[in-house]
Structure 1
């Protein structure tokens, strides 16, 4: 059964295959402002080497610490991977607090499921599993967003109790109680 896990070197092979799937659907170019897009650009060329991948896993884990170095305007963020055995199925990030920018675009929680694992309930289960963790971080209600055209993601958010707030640009904004 899949579960949320801190980033781990155990899924290295499967992680590389998943990132190749994301690249094949156009992720990682300069217009992709998602976490996966940013990390494909910054780290993707080094992931194949096990030593570099280990460094990436350590960096990702450290981003949850308040005093870890991060770009101006970024907040601590807990990254979790949705894995089953040695198979990487997706990722989820919980941002510990909102900045004015994250209030407009980004929110508390974002998630991605690798293309070959979509339409199997992984996103719904992953988000459900993350809500108590967000509560433990002091987030009573998590802001989660999706593109207005992403009906599948909207259904995931609503299945987890998401309450529609408003639309800002192309983004729909929902609040999900974490208890």
Structure 2
């Protein structure tokens, strides 16, 4: 049973997104897959960058075009998580970041949402023509590793980033 829908953020989603950001800040969590929401000074600044980075013609320097979705509950529209699908890889993403980044708010974790989100994102990758998808996670993030493996991820290797070990998984579509 499908529990989540992917929705592109709009200006009307400001309250939902800022509440999402607040929960991550309160829990001192990493906001992966949010197109930089965690570091944006204002929602408007974030939304402008989100729009720019969605297209090859306007993507900002050193970044790649990406589609960032809100994963919302089918039943009530509650924002469960966010996921970022990068349309191509640069050197950094090839080594450490991958095609997909995602996060689930702490209050909604351990319910299978990340696995469902990643499965939906892989379907979007097919639409984008991405047949070999790289997904990475911190070696200490066992939940994320399980999410990737549950979506047919195959561990290629581990890369030492100095302060952490990044695991690199491939999913063949």
Tell me if TM exceeds 0.5: yes
Q: Does 1:174 align with 2:169?
A: yes
Q: Do the aligned partners of 2:52 and 2:60 also contact (CA within 8 Å) in 1?
A: no
1:82 counterpart (71, 74, 78): 71
Change (3 A) 1:69 1:128: closer
The unaligned stretches of length 5 or more in structure 1 are: none
TM-score, normalised to structure 1, is 0.82
Change (3 A) 1:7 1:131: same
1:118 counterpart (109, 114, 119): 109
Change (3 A) 1:99 1:175: same
Q: Do the aligned partners of 1:11 and 1:86 also contact (CA within 8 Å) in 2?
A: no
Q: Do the aligned partners of 1:61 and 1:79 also contact (CA within 8 Å) in 2?
A: no
Matches within 5 A, 1:9-28: 9-27=11-29
Q: Which moved more, 1:96-105 or 1:1-10?
A: 1-10
Q: 2:98 matched to which residue of 1? A: 107
Q: Does 1:39 align with 2:37?
A: yes
TM-score, normalised to structure 2, is 0.85
Q: 2:152 matched to which residue of 1? A: 161
Report Cα offsets for 1:75-101 as digits up to 9, x if no partner. Answer: 101111101243111111111111111
Determine helix, strand or coil for the equivalent of 2:97: coil
Structure 1 residue ranges, 4+ long, deviating more than 6 angstroms after superposition = none
Determine helix, strand or coil for the equivalent of 1:105: helix
Report Cα offsets for 1:21-65 as digits up to 9, x if no partner. Answer: 1101224xxxx695549432223xx33xxxx3xx74464244221
Q: Do the aligned partners of 1:165 and 1:173 also contact (CA within 8 Å) in 2?
A: yes
Shift of 1:177: 1.8
CA RMSD for the aligned pairs?
A: 2.2
Change (3 A) 1:153 1:34: closer
Determine helix, strand or coil for the equivalent of 1:74: coil
